Structure 1
Amino acid sequence: MGSKDHATRNRGSSPDKRIADIAARQHGLVRIQDLRAIGVSAAAASRRRARGLLHRVHRGVDAVGHVALSREARWLAAVFAAGKGAALSHLAAAEFWRLRGARGSITVVAPRRVRIEGVRVYRCNHLDPRDVTIRNGIPVTTVARTIVDLAEVLTVSQLTNVMYEAEHWNLLDLDAVRATAERLLGRHGIAVLEEAIDAHLKGSAGTKSDKEDEFHALLGDRVPKPIANVKVLGHEVDAFWPEFRLVVEVDGPGHERPRARRRDRSRDRDLRDAGYVVLRFTDVEIEQRPGTVRATLRSAMNGMPTG
């Protein structure tokens, strides 16, 4: 054991005890600077890795005692690896705030260029302190900043769903979202953000599944965009064109169950009795016959060509 380790021990506790104490506050992680601060040299850290006491997660970041890291530990490890001023952001921040499910790689925003295996790093020369908070020991972009960032990587309907979830968890502050966007003038996603806010205010919950995303994508530019997951006569419908009184439902395998079929028939009857046109498309039709789906939609819309 190096002289610095002995010095640390002489200050009242062993290096391993102090490492464990630090890790307990950091989701089981220690950084190279944490080790240096308590007098553990690079050579001493290497010996601990050889003995299985430390496990390299990213450059400069180790897990203490095991590699079965929680999701929170992996988030924090990525933030640590990205360096000072970094924070969890974009889709990972949305997952953190329970606004969207896990979507692959972890995402962070950082003031410097850095490559981290398995992590998507967005560079931001200066991350405004107002846009970052620390929750559960993890630096993460605020909900408002997260929504503005996501406008660059999500569709309007997907971002609308993020807002819907934020409102569900009492986390949505549209004034804060708008103020954040104004401070970030020039962002490519501003138009998407404005459309999503408008859809949210109209009652849309956005798209809630991959199949609904596929349906909206296949519409292209030749079919007007619907309002996603909005209530009509008290029923939440997958897609709604108020100007055509047209409702579309995207049916996955679960809609084949007897109970679901009875519920669907009852909903459709209520809507049709009130003068709405109701169309249903299966996920197979959306995936394999998008042209047919578009043609059916256009024929249902007053005055639109079917070709």
Structure 2
Amino acid sequence: MDPRLRDLLVRGGGLVVRRDAIRVTPVWTIQAAWRAGRLVRLLPRVYGDAALIRDTTSDLPPLARVDPEVARRAVLAYADGRGALSGLSALDAWGLRQQPPGEPLYVDLPRGSGLRGRPHLVVRHRAGFAVEPPQVVVRGGLPVTRLDRTLVDCWSLLPPVDRLNPLIRAVNDRLTTPQRLVAALAEVPRTTDRAALCGLLDRLTAGCRSPLEIWGHDRVFTGPGMPAFTRQARVRVGARTIYLDMFAEAERVNVELDGAGTHADPAEREIDLRRDALLATVGILVVRFTHRRLVANPAEVRQETLAILAARRRLPMIR
């Protein structure tokens, strides 16, 4: 291979754009390296070192057979500064879901850019799109669509079973808020299963922070006799700040829903017991329901909760 072309590949992390190559070397050097099997065309005008191909026997397009990090850089080189990773590729960059092998990459571009989709690459053209804040941020050195828009866009791209987790994680990790997600959804009037997404955002706005809490909210802890629980209520106990899952303030009762994997570690169980004891020092009763019991006996859990709340109301200190 021409040493000048090799130098460009080294400086480009294994990638070279045709425009840059022909500035320092004749165009035939690219063609010769490609014919000799030393270069592979990943996208129009974007080439990679053939050594980057991980599976030489697969029928998948070359872009699907290089390391994901290399593939993302190749896509952005193809976009030539006009695009940002979006959809499932942006969700990967945000660390909320890893793209599996064979899944196409996504890039957003301004309408009228002239670039189109390729094998293993989905190009989406958006009116008024620009690779700058607030529409685009930099993650890991790469431009990606802002998180709230990314999550809304991915709702229709993910299978139903995988849709809730990225949204819930993003809110729990304080990467975004339900209000920002609602605003992003307003930007996308046509969304698959829009009613389901609106319902999820309503639950997140109400304070639900797990699929189990959403299930309990819909089937157990709302309706006749139930108070308006404050979810994720912030309580100060001495120097500590504690967040309560579902707090009935008048009755001073906090309902905690323990997930299926909760307390597998005895140390975690001890932490929760100490926390519950600390809350008791300020008159807050913690009532815990397991995942199994909540799902298997929702009516029983509901009646027990109502009985506990009624008993607390009869205590002189609660009146």
CA RMSD of aligned residues (A): 4.7
Correspondence for 1:47: 35
User: Which runs of no fewer than 5 residues in structure 2 stay unpaired?
Assistant: 55-65, 110-114, 156-162, 223-228, 308-319
- 1:16 paired to 2:19: no
User: Equivalents in 1 of 2:200, 2:19: separation in Å?
Assistant: 39
CA contact (8 A) 2:82 2:131 kept: no
Deviations for 1:24-74, whole angstroms, at most 9, x for unmatched residues?
A: 4xxx323455555554346324224x2xx3345556544324347665333
Partners in 2 of 1:275 and 1:63 — Cα distance?
62
- Matched residues in 1 for 2:48 and 2:79: separation? 16
Q: Is the 8 A contact 1:132 1:140 kept in 2?
A: yes
- Seen in structure 2, the aligned counterparts of structure 1 residues 160 and 232 have a Cα distance that, compared at 3 Å, is farther
Tell me, in whole angstroms, the C-alpha distance in 1 between the residues paired with 2:84 and 2:149: 15
Shift of 1:140: 1.8
Aligned match of 1:184: 187
> TM-score when scaled to structure 1?
0.59
Which of 140, 144, 151 is equivalent to 1:140? 144
**Deviation of 1:88 (Å):** 1.1
Note the 1:266-305 alignment, pairs <5 A: 266-271=274-279, 274-282=283-291, 285=292, 291-292=295-296, 294-302=298-306
Per-residue deviation at 1:255?
1.4
Contact 2:220 2:298 in 1 (8 A): yes
Q: Structure 2: how far apart are the matches of 1:173 and 1:281? A: 27
Does 2:180 match 1:165? no
Q: Please say if residues 218 and 290 of structure 1, whose CA atoms lie closer than 8 Å, have aligned partners that are also in contact.
A: no
Q: Which residue of 2 aligns with 1:114?
A: 117
Task: Using the TM superposition, give the Cα deviation of residue 103 of structure 1 relative to its aligned residue in structure 2, in angstroms.
Answer: 5.4
Matched residue type, 1:114: G
1:137–1:153: structure 2 CA closer, same or farther, 3 Å change rule? closer
Shift of 1:219: 4.2
Distance in 1 between residues matched to 2:165 and 2:261, nearest whole Å: 22
**Equivalent of residue 84 in structure 2, options 52, 66, 87:** 87
Asked whether 1:102 is paired with 2:110, we answer: no
The corresponding residue for 2:60 is none
Q: Which blocks of at least 5 consecutive residues in structure 1 are unaligned?
A: 2-8
Counterpart contact for 2:83–2:108, Cα < 8 Å: yes
Q: How many pairs align?
A: 260
> Of Structure 1 and Structure 2, which has the larger fraction of its residues in helix?
1
CA 1:129–1:103 in 2, change beyond 3 Å: closer, same or farther?
closer
Q: Percent identity?
A: 22
Render the CA deviation track for 1:97-131: whole Å, top value 9, x for unaligned.
Answer: 45x353545652334652543x6655534423442
Is the 2:84–2:131 contact (alpha carbons within 8 Å) kept by the matching residues of 1?
Answer: no
Greater C-alpha Rg: 2
Compared CA separation, residues 272 and 72, structure 1 to 2 (3 A): same
Note if contact 2:86-2:108 (Cα within 8 Å) is conserved in structure 1: no
Tell me the distance in 2 between the aligned counterparts of 1:291 and 1:197. Answer: 20
Instruction: Determine the C-alpha separation between the residues in 2 that align with 1:173 and 1:221.
Output: 21
Residue of structure 1 in register with 2:246 after alignment: 240
